Amino acid sequence: MKSADHAALDVSQTDLHAMAYTDPLTGLGNLYRLRDKVRQIAKEREEDPAPFAIGIANLDGFKPINDLFGPRAGDEILCQVAHRLKACIPDGATVTRHGGDEFAFVLPLVFERKGAEKIGQMLREVLSAPFDLGDRNVRLSASFGFAIYPFAGEDFTELLKSADTALYRSKRRGRGQITVYSQEIALEMKRATQLEQALRNAIIANEVDVHFQPIVSLRDDTVVGFEALARWCDADLGYVSPAVFVPLAEERGFIDALSDTLLRKAAEAALSWPKELFLSFNLSSAQLMDPKTAFNTLAILNRVGLDPRRLELEITETAVMTDADTAQKIVGELRAAGVRISLDDFGTGQSSLGRLRDFTFDKVKIDRAFVSRISNDKASEHIIKAIVAMCEGLDLAVVAEGIEDFSEALKLKALGCGMGQGYFYGKPADAVATLRFLADRYISVEGRAAS
């Protein structure tokens, strides 16, 4: 009887141990299983530390799917992911789930970067097939981060951190990306984090500035408005390009704070201009997915005291496509308040001409990619001519961006383009220099603004 009790105790301890190492949803191993497997392989190779790899896979866009179809559908997808990964990982490899939509694997026979990338490409392909939810199919992509032992870490914690860094870089680069950890990538991620902290501090300290580039009527070269452009010069980092810090703010989730600061500053500056001049301001793709954008924008204008009819918001084709329904609602709310909407970088995005029909725009901006080649490239000239004619038929104003010299300006005038901006007409300048620029063109800026 005593031995039977001992046997029962042994069984329950075995069961408890198995439960502690198993993901209850998918039946895969969990983080503890991954840790023990890595330590076991590292110990086996102690005397001759042959490389092996670990990887992390994270589903792209899983949360919206989970929110849309509910947690039961989300769990079903996760179980199908687990089944696919288990079925296709190489012999001797182990696949685990850490919770959420993150999976990991140990690959004892992957020794270097190319091997890890090849496995990543195969797994990405496997996970790109539709997931069956009974009455519907759902497609997802996955991002991957890999780390090679011992180069990316000699113990489990360090190795996992390296794989996580590689995954984070993949996520930064878009959907379905594969990254294998290296010292260069670690430095790149460290710099991005330092830049993020510096930018957050600069926003709080009100140190991110706005410069203004004139937009002119090509008919008589008079200034009709200014585009607000973000500028940031850090005490330690020096000048940081908006092409770097604006996407970073989007990616790290604080674009709203940056945009609100910039719009407030730009609107305050515009109060000093003649009232007939408009302010053009860029909205990010993240803001076009946030239902609060219209309310926040109008609240800033109200606090500053700028007439919404003097504001023109620039949005890109790609941004509109990200969440068309929400974007359309935001655009509708803003236009109802008198704000004008301009389609930026026209002809270079992923949209179609149908967007001009589906959305109500007031203006189209021709991208500098066409303008810069107008003098010596017939195709660019014909494209601009077609855009101008189309906008005329749709009753849309047209602005040509990036005008660098007199010949480009002359050509655009001949093609009937209404407005233009670029270095030929004026470089971006701060608020004080912009007022001086206006003073040179207007006899009395203050008098005109007050009238």
Chain segment 56-101, per-residue pLDDT in tens: 999 987 887 877 788 888 999 999 999 999 999 998 999 999 888 9
With beta carbons less than 8 A apart as the criterion, state whether 89 and 95 touch.
yes
Give residue-wise pLDDT tens across range 390-410. 999 889 999 999 999 999 999
Residue 382 CB neighbours (<10 A): 12
- Where do runs of H (alpha helix) occur along 174-323? 183-204, 242-251, 255-270, 293-304, 317-322
Give residue-wise pLDDT tens across range 377-393. 888 889 899 999 999 98
Q: Taking 70 as the threshold, does the pLDDT of residue 444 lie above it?
A: no
Predicted structure pTM score: 0.72
The pLDDT, as a whole number, for residue 443 is 46
The pLDDT, as a whole number, for residue 16 is 66
Q: Which residue has the tokens 């993240």?
A: 286
% of the chain beyond a pLDDT of 90:
63
Determine the Cα–Cα distance for residues 205 and 196; give it in Å rounded to an integer.
14
CA distances from 121 to 51, 148, 181 (A): 20, 17, 16
Q: For residue 113, give the 3-state DSSP assignment.
A: helix
- Where do runs of H (alpha helix) occur along 50-148? 62-69, 71-88, 113-128
Q: List, in order of start, the domains of the chain with CATH numbers.
A: 11-181 (3.30.70.270), 195-450 (3.20.20.450)
Name the nearest CA neighbour of 347 among 325, 327, 310, 373.
373
How far separated are the first and last CA of the chain, in Å rounded? 103
Give residue-wise pLDDT tens across range 194-252. 999 999 999 999 999 999 999 999 999 999 999 999 999 999 899 999 999 998 898 88
